Amino acid sequence: MAIYAWFFQKEDEMKNTLWDIYARCYESLEVFLPYQQLMEDVMHALPNDYEPRVLLDAACGTGQLLKRLQGRLWGWKLVGLDRSLPMLKVAQQKLSESGLVLKHMDLNEEIPYDNDTFDVVTCINALYALESPEETLREFARILKPGGLLILVNPYLPRGTWIWANHISQIISRRSWRDAAQTALHMPKLLAISTVNKIIARHAKDKVFHFLPPIHLCSLVRKAGFEIELETHHNYAGTCCLVRAHKPLEE
Ligand SMILES: C[S@@+](CC[C@H](N)C(=O)[O-])C[C@H]1O[C@@H](n2cnc3c(N)ncnc32)[C@H](O)[C@@H]1O
């Protein structure tokens, strides 16, 4: 029997509680070196010319990616959406309002944007939490312009210890007292995040969350109508797969 059934009536209640706990701790991930690396991997997967674009960060959380985008990509229009109000509240407090729209929205429903609206859609570590990743990918294909880019990160291995081992080994190899001190300072929140991640990983076995093997994720992305340009498996200390794909141009 799934653990959530002991405490919650419905899967949804459990998920909302987990995101609300995340919201109180999630900012601490900024001191976590594998997470910093993951965000850099996503930034590298984005177009690097000077053309301004319209980007949707689907399930933007506390806006870690949007913050980096605001700092580096001038003139882009950014939309962040998330189902957790507490997450969005943190995002709102730290992001500049200029060129940004934050929306409270559930990705399990139709995304309230017209066809061909966005140049880029990012969805980082959130597809696994949705009811039907397949349907949401089709929605991403619908709201992207022809030629538009999808950048996805999704876990495939529930190995929190690998991520911690990677963080600690980077601190040791860099001999970084600053990173060690930051880790100690944020330890209670980092441990809370790890506990939530453990619960998520436990429920992935019951298919409440979708930890998809890279081959399965890529097949869903193709089925939704995308052409894959890049796929890597080493992300987030070898626990996540990153896919960059585009919606084909119309003939
Ligand atoms: C692990 S966090 C990732 C946040 C952010 N993308 C990042 O990489 O830092 C997962 C996010 O997915 C959001 N989420 C989960 N289910 C959702 C849904 N059905 N609709 C919209 N957002 C959802 C949660 O509220 C949470 O902010």
pLDDT in tens, the chain (251 residues): 566 566 666 778 888 889 999 999 999 999 999 999 999 999 999 998 878 899 999 999 999 999 999 988 878 999 999 999 999 999 999 999 999 999 999 999 999 999 999 999 999 999 999 999 999 999 999 999 999 999 999 999 888 899 999 999 999 998 899 999 999 999 999 999 999 999 888 888 777 899 999 999 999 999 999 999 999 999 999 999 999 999 999 76
Q: What is the CATH number of the domain that holds 135?
A: 3.40.50.150
- The answer as to whether 191 is a domain residue is yes
Q: Is residue 88 part of a domain?
A: yes
* Rounded distance between C-alpha atoms, residue 111 and residue 123, angstroms: 13
Say how far apart CA 209 and CA 155 lie, in whole Å: 10
The answer, yes or no, to whether any atom of ligand 1 lies below 6 A from the CB of 145, is no
Domain containing 55 equals 4-246
Ligand 1 pocket: which of 82, 94, 211 to mutate (most atoms within 8 A of CB): 82
φ, ψ (nearest 5 deg) of residue 226: -95, 155
**Which numbered atom of ligand 1 lies nearest the CA of 59?**
22
CA distance 226 to 216: 14
pTM: 0.94
The residues pairing with 214 across neighbouring beta strands, listed in sequence order, are none
**Six token digits for residue 159:** 């190995």
> Residue 237: inside a domain, yes or no?
yes
CA–CA separation, 3 and 69 (whole Å): 37
> 56 in a domain, yes or no?
yes
Ligand 1 pocket, residue 212 CB under 6 Å: no
User: Quick check: 68 and 80 in contact, CB under 8 A?
Assistant: no
Cβ of 33 below 6 Å from ligand 1? no
* H helical segments located in the chain: 4-7, 11-25, 33-45, 64-72, 85-94, 133-143, 160-174, 177-185, 187-204, 214-223, 235-238
Distance separating alpha carbons of residues 171 and 139, to the nearest angstrom? 40
Alpha-carbon span 149 to 79, nearest angstrom? 15
Is 251 domain-assigned? no
- pLDDT computed for residue 72 by the predictor: 87
Which pLDDT belongs to residue 155?
96
Q: How many domains does the chain have?
A: 1
Write down the pLDDT at residue 4: 57
Query: Domain for residue 182, yes or no?
Result: yes
Within-domain flag for 200: yes
Q: Where are the alpha helices (DSSP H) in 26-96?
A: 33-45, 64-72, 85-94
Report which protein residue has its CA nearest ligand 1's atom 25.
84
Tell me the backbone φ, ψ of residue 166, rounded to 5 degrees. -65, -45
110 CA distance to ligand 1 middle (Å): 16
CA geometry: angle 166, 167, 171, nearest 5 deg: 115
